[in-house]
Copies of this chain bind each other. A is one copy, B any other.
Amino acid sequence: MSRTSEKALLPAGLRDVLPPDAAYEADTVERLIAVFSARGYERVKPPLLEFEEALLSGAGAALSQQTFRLMDPVSQRMLALRADMTTQVARIAGYRLAKVPRPLRLCYAGQVLRVKGSQLRAERQFAQVGAELIGTDAEAADAEAVSMAVEALQSVGLQRLSVDLNLPPLVGALAAELGLDPELTAELRQALDRKDAAAVETLAGAHAKLFLGLLQAAGPADEALARLERLALPADVAAGAGRLARVTVLLRAALPDLTLTVDPVEHRGFEYQTGVSFTIYARGVRGEIGRGGRYTTGDDGAEEPATGFTLFMDSVMRAMPPAPPGQRVYLPAGTPHDEARALRADGWVTLAGLESAADSAAEARRLGCAHLWQDGRVVELD
C-alpha cells in the first residue's frame, strides 16, 4: 500500500488546511472579530447541529437543499448540520437574548457545511464570520453594518475593496404598486437580475421606461443614485430609494475613500432582505467576500427589524496578502528553560532540540530555522 493510500483521500469539497494557512486563517478570523467586539458586538457560539425543523424554519428554509441531515439516536429526531449561521443568531436574539436591551449587537465565527459546492465556491466546508444588529431600523444601523464590515476587512490587510449597494425589495414593491401579477413580476425580476434589457422591455410593456430606468440606475454610486432619483417612482417606492441615498451619504462620511457602486435591482441571494443590502468584492478575487443587508427577524408577533452581514472566509483568504513568515530559532538540546522562555517573550518561535545533534547549525537548517541559539545569543545562519 502506498503513501497515497485510500485513507488519505477526503470527500470532494472537504480539505485539510495545512501550515501556514490554518494559522493565518484562524488569526484573520480573530482579528475580524476583534473589530466587531471593539464596536460592542458580543460573540455568540451556536452549536453545529440543531433540530432540523428549527434550523430550517423561516429564512433557514432557503438552504434546505444544501443542508446535511442525520438521525439523533438520543432524541430519535432528525438533526441538521448548519449550512449558515444567520438563522441561529436570529434564534438566539429572539429567544435566549429576548430581554437584552435593543439594539442588540451580536457577532459570530464558525464552520458551516454544505451538501454541494458551487461554481464560485468548490468548498463544502468553510468558515463564516459575521455580525448582526437587531432591533433597530435606523439608517445609521445600515451604514454601521457596511462600514464595520469594510473596516474589519481593511484591518486584516485587504485592499481594493468595493461595495455594491442593493435594494432587493424595490422591484417587488414597484410591481405591486403598478398592479403587475406575481408571475410576471417573477419573470421581470429574473430578466433584471440577468441585466437583459430586451426582455425587461418586452415584459414590462407600458412600464418599460420605468424598469429600464432602474436597470440603467446601476454603476458608480453617485451617478446611479442621481438617475434613480430622477425616475418617476410611486411615493412609497421612492422612499426606499431615498433611504438608499441617505445611507450612502452616511457611508461616505465614515469611509470617504471606499469604492461604492449601486445596483438597485439586484435580487439574487437576497430573497429575505427587506431593505438596503450590500455585497463586498475585492478586485482580482472571484466571487463575493461577504454580503449582508436589512431583514426582519423573529416571528409570532415578536418581529424585529435587523441588519447584518456575513464574511466568507474562503474568499477572504483568497484576497489576503501572503502570510508573514515567523522567525524560528533552533535551541540545541539542554538549552536552559529560562533562556527559551526569554526568547519566546521576545517574539521568537523556539524549536527545542530533543537529542544532542553533532552539528547544531545543520540540524537548525534541516528543521527550517534560519537562526540558532549559540553561546547565549541568536546567530543568523546563511
Contacts and interface: CB of A to CB of B under 8 A. Distances in A.
Contact of A354 (B30, B94, B138, B344): B138
25 contacts: A3-B95, A7-B53, A8-B54, A9-B51, A10-B51, A10-B54, A12-B74, A14-B47, A16-B44, A16-B92, A17-B45, A20-B42, A22-B45, A23-B42, A25-B45, A26-B30, A26-B33, A38-B348, A39-B350, A49-B68, A49-B125, A74-B124, A141-B354, A144-B354, A254-B337
A19 interface: yes
Contacts of A74: 11-13, 115-116, 124
A94 B74 CA distance: 35
A226 to B, nearest CB: 25
B12 A37 contact: no
A243 interface: no
A98 interface: yes
A328 interface: yes
Contacts of A106: 19
B18 A44 contact: yes
B11 A144 contact: no
A47 B7 CA distance: 14
Nearest to A326: B37
Contacts of A320: none
B355 A140 contact: yes
Given A19-B43, A43-B23, A302-B3, A9 B349 contact: no
Nearest to A253: B337
Contacts of A8: 54, 91, 94-96
Given A11-B79, A16-B92, 20 more contacts: A3-B98, A7-B53, A8-B54, A9-B51, A10-B50, A11-B51, A11-B72, A12-B75, A14-B47, A16-B44, A18-B97, A23-B33, A23-B43, A26-B43, A40-B367, A48-B111, A48-B113, A49-B125, A73-B116, A140-B333
Contacts of A43: 19, 22-23, 26
Point out which of A74, A77, A91, A108 has the most chain B C-beta atoms below 10 A from its C-beta. A74
A17 B44 contact: yes
For this complex, into which size category does the number of interface residues on chain A fall? 35 or more
Contacts of A366: 101
B352 A39 contact: yes
A101 B19 contact: no
B19 A42 contact: yes
A24 to B, nearest CB: 9
A328 B26 contact: no
Given A3-B95, A26-B33, A350-B40, A47 B15 contact: yes
A85 B106 CA distance: 29
